[in-house]
Amino acid sequence: LGLLTVDGMAASSVIEGSFTTVKYLEFLQSTVLLMCSPYPGLLSVLVMDNMKIHHGEGVVELIEAYGELLCLI
């Protein structure tokens, strides 16, 4: 799992097995969201595809709590 920016790979995580929503939330909170800033600042828009963990319970709420803008494609 990784955080890709216009400047390249900014963060990543590798685990044995599959990412669950809980593990994804931990990655977001402990790594990704700490690197972001509230919208419209630098790294303030997160774009995610339709992967199941991106739509897990609590994901939208966590991202919005940090002030980022979320785009699901």
Which residues have C-beta within 8 Å of that of residue 14, sequence separation ≥ 6? Answer: 1
- pLDDT score, position 70: 85
In 3D space, the residue among 13, 14, 66 whose CA is nearest the CA of residue 35 turns out to be 66
* 37 token code pair: 């800033």
12 SS3 class: strand
- pLDDT score, position 23: 94
Neighbours of 14 (CB within 10 A): 7
- pLDDT score, position 71: 83
Per-residue pLDDT of the chain in tens (73 residues, 90 and over written 9): 999 999 999 999 999 999 999 999 999 999 999 999 998 988 899 999 989 999 999 999 999 999 988 887 6
